Structure 1
C-alpha cells in the first residue's frame, strides 16, 4: 500500500510539472506575439463615472484602461497629465457614460467652461426665445428635441380687421437648451421660460424680429418627419370645426385640398336631361286613286 501511494504521488507531481510547463510555454508565446504584433493595447482615459453636461473633469472621475490600438477613437488621451495638464480644469460638453472614452470633441479646452458655443454646428447660431407654459408644450420640449416654431401676430398691412393670424416661422429646428439645462440626457418634463434653438444666420434674424411683432410657440416634431414645402396662414376665420378654408389672404399661394376619393351623394345624383323634341307625325290622306301626305305636330299634352 505504501508503494502504491508513492507511485500515485509521483504521478501527480509529474502531471503538475507538465501543466506548469505547458502554461508557462503558452503564456510565453502570447507575450511574444503581443510584443511583435503592431496591434497591441494602449492606455486610454475613460470616465470612471457618468459625466453630465457642465461636469468638471477631475482626476477622481478618470481612469486608464487598455484599449486595442487598431480601434482607437480619434481624440483620446493616453494619460491623466495629458488630459489635465498642470491641473487645469476641463468640463464635459457632452454627456458621457461610465467607461466611455473621453474625447477632445466632448470636453472644453484647458481651463474652459461649459459653453453652448462649443457644441454648436460651425454654420449655425444659438438664439434664445421666450416661452410660456403652453408655448413650451407643457414642459415636454427638452434639449435635443426637434420643433417647429409658430408665430401668432396681428397683421398691419391689410385692409379691414382680419384679427390675429398664425404662421409657421421655422421648421425642424433643434433645441440645444431649455433655460440653463443643455443636457440631452434629460428625460423629465420641466417648465422652461426660454428655449435656445440652433438656427442659421437668417433664421436667427427672423427669430429676433418675430419676438418683437408677435408671440412664439413651439410644436414638437418627429425627427424623421419631412418639412412641408409650403406653409399656410391660419386666421381667426379658420377657427371652426372641419377642413382649413383659407379665410386669410395675403397674396401667398393658397391651400388646395386634395381631391376626394369619391364624389359625395349630392354630386353623384344623376342630372335629369331635358326631354328630346317630339318628331312631327305624317298623315296620309287617300282620295280615290291619289294619296297625299301631310305633316302635323304632336299634341303637347301627350
Structure 2
C-alpha cells in the first residue's frame, strides 16, 4: 500500500509539472505576440471598462491594442508605465467608452484630480451663474450643452416702460451643473448653479448682469449660427405677432412747441374798375367805413 501511494504521488507531481510547463509556454507565446507589433501598427492604451468623469485610472482599467500608426490621434500612450508612471494616479476628465484611446486631453496630470480648470481651453474662463428650475430650462440644461444667456433688467431710463430682455451671450458651453461636470449625463437635473465656459470679458459681463438683473438660459443647437444683431425685447413686445422693436435706450429729446402763426389775411376784394373819366370831368373816391364809392364830378364851367 505504501508503494502504491508513492506511485500515485509521483504521477501527480509529474502531471503538475507538465501543467505548469504548458501554462508557461502558452503565456510566453501570448506575451511574445503582445510584445511584437505588426509593421505599420502601434501599441495604444485604451479603456478596458467605461470611464466616467472623475474615475481614477488604474492598471486593471487599461489594455493595449494595435492601431494603424497613420490614424493615431494626438496624445496617446504606448504603454501602461507611460500612462501611469510610478503608479501615480490619473483621473478621467472626459467620459471614455470601452476600447476608446486614452488621450492626454481627457485625463488629469500625474497624481491629479478631476478639476474643472483642467477641461477649460487655455484662453477661456469658468464662470458660475445662479439659475432656477425655469431659468435652467426645467433641468434639461446638462454639462456639454450649448446655451444662449439672457438678462432681464430694468433700464435706468425706462420712463415707466418696465423691464427689458437682452441676449447677453450666444452659444456658450455648459461645463457643469452644480457639482455635476460629466457630459455623459442624460437625465434632467434641477440645479441652482450653472458653470459656463466664457472669455474673460464675458465673465465680467456675467458678473455684472447678475447684479443688475436676472439670468436665464436658453438651449441652443450646437450647429446654430449666432445672430450678428441682438434685438431688445420690451414690455410693448408682449403680444402675439411680429416683433415691434419700439424700445430705445436713448432718452426722448425735447421737442419745442410749434409757434402760433397769425392767420393769413383774407383776400382783398378786387375793386371794380370805373370807366375812364372824360376830359371835362374827374373821379372822386369817397370812403365810408369799409365801403368806398366813386363819383364823377364835372369840372367847373364844363357843359
TM-score range, shorter chain: 0.5 to 0.7
Residue 73 of structure 1 corresponds to 73
CA distance in 1, matches of 2:222, 2:70: 34
Deviation at 1:65, TM superposition (A): 2.2
Structure 1 residues 37, 174: CA separation in 2 closer, same or farther (over 3 Å shift)?
closer
Q: TM-score, normalised by structure 2?
A: 0.67
**What RMSD over aligned residues (CA atoms) do the two structures have, in Å?**
2.1
Instruction: Say whether the 8 Å CA contact 2:37–2:66 is kept in structure 1.
Output: no
**Do structure 1's residue 216 and structure 2's residue 215 form an aligned pair?**
yes
Structure 1 residues 187, 37: CA separation in 2 closer, same or farther (over 3 Å shift)?
closer
Residue 169 of structure 1 corresponds to 168
Structure 1 or 2, whichever has the larger Rg, is 2
**Farther-moved stretch of structure 1 (49-58 vs 75-84):** 75-84
CA distance in 2, matches of 1:44, 1:224: 32
Q: Alpha-carbon deviations, 1:105-151, whole Å to 9, x = none?
A: 21110010111111111121111111010000001111111111000
Residue 105 of structure 2 corresponds to 105
Q: Alpha-carbon deviations, 1:143-181, whole Å to 9, x = none?
A: 11111100011112x162221111111111111111112
CA distance in 2, matches of 1:37, 1:150: 56
Q: Alpha-carbon deviations, 1:249-282, whole Å to 9, x = none?
A: 2149xxxxxxxxxxxxxxxxxxxxxxxxxxxxxx
Structure 1 residues 69, 237: CA separation in 2 closer, same or farther (over 3 Å shift)?
closer
Structure 1 residues 91, 251: CA separation in 2 closer, same or farther (over 3 Å shift)?
same
Residue 237 of structure 2 corresponds to 238
Q: Which runs of 5+ in 2 are unaligned?
A: 1-35, 252-303
Within 5 Å, give how 1:67-146 maps onto structure 2: 67-146=67-146
Q: TM-score, normalised by structure 1?
A: 0.67
Count of residues paired in the alignment: 217
**Do structure 1's residue 154 and structure 2's residue 154 form an aligned pair?**
yes
Structure 1 residues 160, 107: CA separation in 2 closer, same or farther (over 3 Å shift)?
same
